[in-house]
Structure 1
Amino acid sequence: MRFTDGFWLMRPGVEAHYARQAYALAVADDALVVTAPTKVIETRGDTLNLPVLTVTVAPHAPGVVRVRIEHHTGGGEALRFETAPASGGSVAVEDDGTGVVTSGDLVARVSPGAPWRLEFASGGRVLTSSGHRSQAWIRLAPDAAVDAPPVGLPLGGAYVHEQLDLGVGTQVFGLGERFGPLVKNGQTVEIWNADGGTSSEQAYKNVPFYLTDAGYGVLVDEPGHVSFEVGSEAVQRVQFSVEGESLQYFVIAGDSPAQILERYTALTGRPPEVPAWSWGTWLSTSFTTDYDEATVTSFLDGMRDRDLPLSVFHFDCSWMRELQWTDFVWDERVFPDPEGMLRRLHDRGLRVSAWINPYIAQQSPLFQEAAAAGHLLRRPDGSVWQWDLWQAGMGVVDFTSEAATTWFQEHVRRLLRQGVDAIKTDFGERIPLDVVFADGSDPKRMHNLYAERYNAAVHAVLDEERPGEAVVFARSATAGGQRHPVHWGGDSTSTFASMAETLRGGLSLSLSGFGYWSHDIGGFEGTPDAAVFKRWVAFGLLSSHSRFHGSDSYRVPWLFDDGDEAAPDSAVSVTRRFATLKNRLAPYLIAAGREAAATGMPVMRPMVLAFPEDPTARPLDRQYLLGPDLLVAPVFSAEGDVELYLPAGTWTHLLTGERVQGPTWRRERHGFDSLPLYVREGAVLPIGARDDRPDTDHLDGLTLVAFPGADGVREVRVGDAVFAVETSDDEVHATGPEGRWSLRLGGAQQAADGGAAHLRRTAEPVPGPVLPD
């Protein structure tokens, strides 16, 4: 939200009161408390009729400092995100009056007197600061000429904002799943969950956390609407503003973007590991298509007969009767024996996913039950809040009520006990404001948090019923939502442009603390042409999680083939190639998921996260690393032309064995059965022997494919087994458990079997497929 008219003036109807000086500094409750009047006090008369800001600066965790700006403090403690408790640090007022807060390697300093200055430094270098005309309490007239807030959110009468300096050349990333450019500089970003598709400025997953390439990130600890002006209104600063009388934020320092993300996820939570079967191929009924058990069986038989691996089958909305979503009851007209059907799917070696949402249609028998018990959101007059957008007369489950949450969870539990393995938790964004929540929460602050409460409730039941195997497939989220994986990108269109915006959204989400991410292969709205579908297949099956799903048309691959299905560039062949490849890569991907759970490092890694020292790589948003070592550049054209950048080092194409020396830009052309897929030097890829599913004994027939580079020892974990792999420029030595595993040099036709294995490259490798047969 913009309040100023250029550099000097305010917009009509805007009254700004800026922190002008640090008038008094004191230590209280392990925090620095600063009295910051909104004018410089020179006489006693200056203290009259004067708004004053109270600024509290406190250590929170190593490298993390919390700041709270308050105008009037009588409103009590506001609803905030769930964060880890504070854990030490030091606070002091020095002899010259400077306030100093130290938390690990991050130091915050408040200079006494005027002008106002709060700076954050690490390693003797100032990272960012809040200076003149940065902190403000803003009062707005009813007709103030400011930008309108998001649709449906009324303009408030008062706001608090902070502005933190941007250094020259500093780039800003994150802020949730945003579908525009990965670098957020110059953008206005509204943190307000909305069901707006992937082709708009709205987003399903809004996270008020941004990460910079200058050694710090910022979490605005406000779960309601936060408006960011990222080098836009004030081009030298990032401004964030919230309605009300207070604002709280954390500054998080780090030597690299990875360390910032590690500290951020230590603060807000990390994703758990997901089960091995979830890494395989998911196939859906699609949304508004007609289907019954015979249709489902025909899809499964078609996949089997074409040797197309499949791990999960998903039932979208119409497993329930129309006009009754969500009632958790199978439509007996098309699924007369749901338990038997689910058992038959399990007999095929499949897991089953089912769609739900947190809305109860008026026609559902559950509606009256939930309304009578007080489980639905109510209007201030006590009536149940209802509307017809989505389902006729639907109400919204109130997850601030423990009783309502338990009631909803019991219906989910019944579904799981029938045989469902995973739940798609759709929707959760259009949460009304003209309601009263059971726990008295401010509806504006609960709007984004609702998604977190909804997904947490379902994930908890899955964790109880499927210990260690809990998977939701969620669309909406906010800060902390990474604790309940997996998330998918929402409603895209079936075009190359939408495929690209989908990737930007996923990379932005990865920089916001989310470890796993998926999207609808082929796009959701409309039916993709064969070229879009096949290019999206390669991209989708080289993402964290992979689901074929559409709106009004099926996504089984053979529907996109006009010619010979056996041809290498057919949709069936392309799907087989990349689905089997992903299953072979399962040991590698599962290890990347384990790292996400341990450190917050996402499975799909934007280039800025993987190569922070390379300024060319930082803004790139059409390529990424899948895990630590595989560089993927999806192809966004029918012709197969793609431009990509390879950072320094020797890169080996996984499918062809071609070796390329970086740093370099490349223009390549790929058939539908290929794309740029490069392995970085020094990598050791654990490759499984099975290509039909990801949940197998990966040690049985495992191959370690090593790509020698600089000297070093790399530890590779596969399940509970640990391999030590020592590489140099032309040789590799590996030790590991006894068993049927082998060692290969990437790009060379050499192999040796372990417990221990040693290989020396005797000649330049002959280009060819790197993967073992």
Structure 2
Amino acid sequence: MIKRTLISFLIVFHTYPGYCRREPSIATNIPWQQVAPGVWKGIVGTPDQISPLSVAEIKPRIEALTSLGNLPFPAQLNEGVAEVHNHLTSLRFPLRRGEEIYGLGLQFKSVKQRGTIKQLRVDHYGGTDNGRTHAPVPFYVTDNGYGVLINTARYLTVYAGTGVRKDSNDPPPEMNRNSQRDWNPQPYSDAVEIAIPASGTEIYVFAGKNMMEVVQRYNLYCGGGILPPKWGLGFTHRTPTLYSDQEVMNEVEQFNAKGYPLSFVGLEPGWQSRSYPNTFVWDSTRFPRPNYFVNELLKRHIRVNLWINPYVSSYSPIYKKITPYTGSHTVWVGEVPDFFMPQARKLYKQLFTTQHLDIGVSGFKVDEVDGYDNWLWPDVAKFPSETSAEQMRQVYGLQFQKMTADWFREKNQRTYGLVRASNAGAASLPYVLYNDYYNHRDFITALCNSSFIGVLWTPEARSSKTAEEWLRRMQAVCFSPMAMLNAWADGTKPWSFPEVEKQVKDVMLLRMQLLPYLYTTFAQYHLEGKPPVRAMPLVEGFNYSANAEKTQLHSSDNPYTTTVVPEVKDQFMLGDYLLVAPLFAGDTTRKVVLPKGKWYDFYTGDYVGDGEIIEVPTTLNYTPLFVRDGGIIPMMPPMLHVPENGEKVGLTVRHYGKAENSTYLYDDDGTTFNYENGTYSLFKLSVTHEGGKLKGSQSTVKADYPSGYRDFSWKFMTK
């Protein structure tokens, strides 16, 4: 009996997968297949069906990708290998000496990512660039002319040039800390290594002649960048959370009476009958006539945006019907809908359409889809679609963006909103990221980083300790993808600090004047894939090198001192021509790194430098702005609202420097998707030398739709 039992045990031991001796897995080369000009796809193992690109339902812009040319596959990545073992997929891609890495999610403190480890996971940003962030997009681009996207909805870990393999082709030398003063605790690594807790994954490679072209291909493959409605590029003010309809109207009237522009207002949780969790229906005491309220604002050229999070209160009219299609855990004791279930999507669409879209609401602010861990569902949660809690978290914000965007598209109505979580494939979705973190300098770094990963980010203003800080924050938001004052808790107004009231008004009105330039820049994002805000490494002619600085060695806090290389993360380009150098409270001077080529002061047209570091004095009156030689900036009058369809405005077209140039000015109806059928106007703006002087002209290249611009006048800023 004992012998028979022992034999049975040995049979089980040698045959049961959990106990058997496994053959070591072998890393193999990745098979690549071209899927678009300059774009390749690789499949390793058995990928999950759910991925960010599948949730976003991307529609690559093949014609635009073709116009960039068909580059060969990046030879360096032929050395990439993959391995699948025990439900873990490992990837390894080579790095060359001096090669820099950018991207890997919405980071707030650094732009260069080589030498870092990122645990890419949707989460509230906690103050550390560890990869847990609102948009952990698993995409990186290098200055060697390629980008890599890992299309997975898993929590993945990226070792961006940190691990040192024994079989490295370019190993670092062994060092002796006892005798070598330059001993480095972080030896040189020649690879990016990625760990994915899944039995396979999809990988995409994007090629380009430079990093900008790589980013363009990524954005175009994801459907092209979003073109917001014109009103979305005006100014938005989010009102205190328990305001009534009359209080909101009073605030709108104050903006108008004081001469501050306003294009849409945001209503915070109190517009609902119950929130945290939510009913999604109007509170009858604060908003007894929501239809009338929304339409009164529309008469004043102002749209309404509603705060929501997706979690369903037991008082909501859809509660009983949606409960079977929700997860095992609640958020704030609200049901968590599983949007992979068509029944859940249908119930939301019906409720949101009747309560919001049908009465003229123009968009949403989607909160609380990012973290913290103790607020969201845990990773042990179950969902009726059998989607894992991990995957649900990685794509929940992305999924809600796609779902709501489709509702508006069915009405042929563009929207523009806010969201707390996103992922790969989001470039064509009409949402801007935001969070509760409130470090002004880090906000600008995030603005730079957003340009590498196909998302938009806004450094919103909420409150400030001083008038100077308030001004600097307001100046920064006016050069971001969404100019927003969020007064939900503090009740601040643009005029809350009388000492800088005029300067705040000036920059808000400048935002409105720049609308033709901004709108064209976003059209370029859609048509060409160029992000509207651009980190300096994406800019032609930018070259910045600085000596590494050692951090201070401390026996307890920092026993392994490392070197830090300063990077440019506090300035950016807005469109093709405008360089923005934000100021921060306490600054007395400001250093600006100019790319190669002549640059001119936006306000005066004076020459400021060529490919050098300049230092400019600070002033309360304006943010330092600089324009590239030959830069053409079309501007409209400083209106208090965005021009409506059919409303004609005159344009002043500014030219800077001495160079001849030509560019395009884009226009359409500003609200519908008719532009996708070719119903838009495209003007060619040209500056040439004639008789020793510069002369400007404009011609309509495409005129399938009447333009809202008239009476072009030219202003040559450089004397």
The TM tier, using the shorter chain, reads 0.7 to 0.9
Mapping for residues 296-695 of structure 1, pairs under 5 Å = 296-323=248-275, 325-371=277-323, 374-377=324-327, 379=328, 385-387=329-331, 391=332, 393-414=333-354, 415-429=356-370, 430-465=376-411, 467-493=412-438, 498-514=439-455, 516-522=456-462, 527-550=464-487, 552-561=489-498, 570-611=499-540, 614-616=543-545, 619-695=567-643
* TM-score (normalizing by structure 2): 0.80
1:22-46 deviation per Cα after TM superposition (whole angstroms, max 9, x unaligned): xxxxxxxxxxxxxxxxxxxxxxxxx
Cα shift at 1:308 = 0.6
Instruction: Please say if residues 193 and 447 of structure 1, whose CA atoms lie closer than 8 Å, have aligned partners that are also in contact.
Output: yes
Kindly provide the CA deviation profile for residues 414-453 of structure 1, in whole angstroms up to 9, marking residues without a partner as x. 2122231121122222454333334333333332122221
By how many angstroms is 1:105 displaced? 2.4
Judge conservation of contact 2:600–2:657 (CA < 8 Å) in 1.
no
After the TM superposition, which residues 115-264 of structure 1 pair with which residues of structure 2 at under 5 Å, given as runs?
A: 120-121=74-75, 127-130=76-79, 135-137=82-84, 158-196=87-125, 201=130, 202-234=132-164, 235-264=189-218
Contact 1:135 1:162 in 2 (8 A): yes
Q: Match of 2:694?
A: 731
- Distance in structure 1 (CA, Å) of the matches to 2:492 and 2:534: 27
Cα distance in 1 for residues equivalent to 2:40 and 2:303: 44
Cα gap change, 1:744 to 1:418, in 2 (>3 Å) = same
SS at match of 2:395: helix
The letter of the residue matching 2:367 is D
Q: Measure the CA separation in 1 of the matches of 2:315 and 2:128.
A: 33
Relative to structure 1, the CA distance from residue 470 to residue 106 in structure 2 (aligned partners, 3 Å threshold; closer, same or farther) is: same
How is 1:721-760 mapped onto 2 (pairs within 5 angstroms)? Answer: 721-728=682-689, 731-736=694-699, 740-747=711-718
Aligned-partner Cα distance in 1 for 2:114–2:315: 47
Deviations 1:347-401, CA, capped at 9 Å, x for gaps: 2221111111111134545333321xx2312x3xxxxx224xxx3x111111101
CA distance in 2, matches of 1:48, 1:341: 68
Pair 270,619 (structure 1): closer, same or farther in 2 beyond 3 Å: farther
The 1-side partners of 2:664 and 2:234 are apart by 25
Residues 486-508 of structure 1: CA deviation (Å, up to 9, x unaligned): 21321122xxxx11111212221
- Amino acid corresponding to residue 135 of structure 2 in structure 1: K
Select between 48-57 and 332-341 the one with higher mean Cα deviation.
48-57
Say if 1:163 and 1:239, in contact at 8 Å, map to a contact too: yes
Distance in 2, Cα, partners of 1:658 & 1:613: 21
CA distance in 2 between partners of 1:77 and 1:306 (Å): 54
**Is this contact kept in 2: 1:472–1:484, CA < 8 A?**
no
Taking the aligned partners of 1:461 and 1:664, their CA distance within structure 2 comes to 49
Judge which range, 675-684 or 722-731, deviates more.
722-731
CA contact (8 A) 1:309 1:693 kept: yes
Two-structure CA RMSD over aligned residues (Å): 2.9
Q: Contact 1:60 / 1:87 at 8 angstroms: preserved in 2?
A: no
Matching residue's letter, 2:339: F
Q: 1:274 aligns with which of 204, 228, 238?
A: 228
CA distance in 1, matches of 2:123, 2:321: 28
**Do the aligned partners of residues 273 and 198 (structure 1) sit closer, same or farther apart at CA in structure 2, a change above 3 Å counting?**
farther
Distance 2:61 2:478 in 1: 41
Looking at structure 1, the residues matched to 122 and 77 of structure 2 have their Cα atoms a distance apart, in angstroms, of: 28
> Which residue matches 2:14?
none
Matched-pair contact (CA < 8 Å) for 1:306–1:572? no
Higher RCO by CA contacts (8 Å cutoff, separation 6 or greater): 2
Per the TM alignment, residue 309 of structure 1 is displaced from its structure 2 partner at its CA by 0.8
SS of the equivalent of 1:386 reads strand
- Does the CA contact (< 8 Å) of 2:448 and 2:535 recur in 1? yes
Q: Give distance in 2, aligned partners of 1:69 and 1:458.
A: 33
Q: Taking structure 1 as reference, are residues 540 and 79 closer, same or farther at Cα in structure 2, changes over 3 Å only?
A: closer
Residue 649 of structure 2 aligns to which amino acid in structure 1? D
Secondary structure class of the residue paired with 2:591: strand
Distance 1:650 1:320, change over 3 A: same
The Cα shift of 1:267 comes to: 2.5
Cα shift at 1:87: 9.1
Distance 1:605 1:304, change over 3 A: same
C-alpha displacement at 1:198, in angstroms? Answer: 5.8
Secondary structure at 2:31 match in 1? strand
Q: Which amino acid aligns with 2:460?
A: D
C-alpha spacing 1:291/1:545, structure 2 compared with 1 (3 Å): same
Q: Which moved more, 1:333-342 or 1:185-194?
A: 333-342
How far is 1:619 from its partner? 4.4
Does the CA-based 8 Å contact 2:230-2:519 persist in structure 1?
A: yes
SS in 2 for 1:652: strand
Q: Which position in structure 1 is the counterpart of 2:167? A: none
Q: CA deviation at 1:459?
A: 1.0
User: Residues 48 and 481 from structure 1, CA distance in 2 versus in 1: closer, same or farther, beyond 3 angstroms?
Assistant: closer
The match for 1:751 is none
Tell me the residue number matched to 1:701.
650
In structure 2, give the amino acid aligned to 1:659.
Y
CA distance in 2, matches of 1:324, 1:248: 37
In 1, distance between residues paired with 2:152 and 2:128?
A: 26
Q: Work out the CA distance in 2 between the residues paired with 1:502 and 1:408.
A: 33
Describe the SS at the equivalent of 2:322: helix
Pair 640,376 (structure 1): closer, same or farther in 2 beyond 3 Å:
farther
Equivalent residue letter for 1:732:
K
Local SS of the residue matching 2:505: helix
Aligned to 2:560: none
Question: Once the 2 structures are TM-superposed, how far is the Cα of residue 677 of structure 1 from its aligned partner?
Answer: 0.6
The percentage of aligned residue pairs carrying the same residue is: 21
* 2:563 aligned residue: none
Inter-CA distance 586–78: structure 2 relative to 1 (3 Å threshold): closer
Task: Find the residue that maps to 2:350 and give its secondary structure.
Answer: helix
Rounded Cα–Cα distance in structure 2 between residues aligned with 1:717 and 1:51: 55
Looking at structure 1, the residues matched to 297 and 532 of structure 2 have their Cα atoms a distance apart, in angstroms, of: 29
Contact 2:541–2:596 (Cα < 8 Å) also in 1? no
Contact 1:587/1:698 (CA < 8 Å) preserved in 2? no
Unaligned runs of 5+ in 1: 1-46, 89-102, 108-119, 122-126, 140-157, 380-384, 562-569, 748-764, 766-773
Q: Distance in 2 between matches of 1:50 and 1:639?
A: 58
Whether the 8 Å contact between 2:125 and 2:437 is mirrored in structure 1 is no
Partner SS for 1:672: coil
Instruction: Decide whether the 8 Å contact of 2:278 with 2:334 is kept in 1.
Output: no
Maintained 8 Å contact 1:323/1:364: no
CA distance in 1 between counterparts of 2:486 and 2:595 reads: 34
- Of 394-403 and 445-454, more deviation after overlay is shown by 445-454
**Change in CA separation of 1:619 and 1:584 when aligned onto 2, cut-off 3 Å:** same
Mapped to 1, the partners of 2:267 and 2:22 lie a distance apart of 66
Once the two structures are TM-superposed, the CA of residue 215 in structure 1 deviates from its matched residue by 0.6
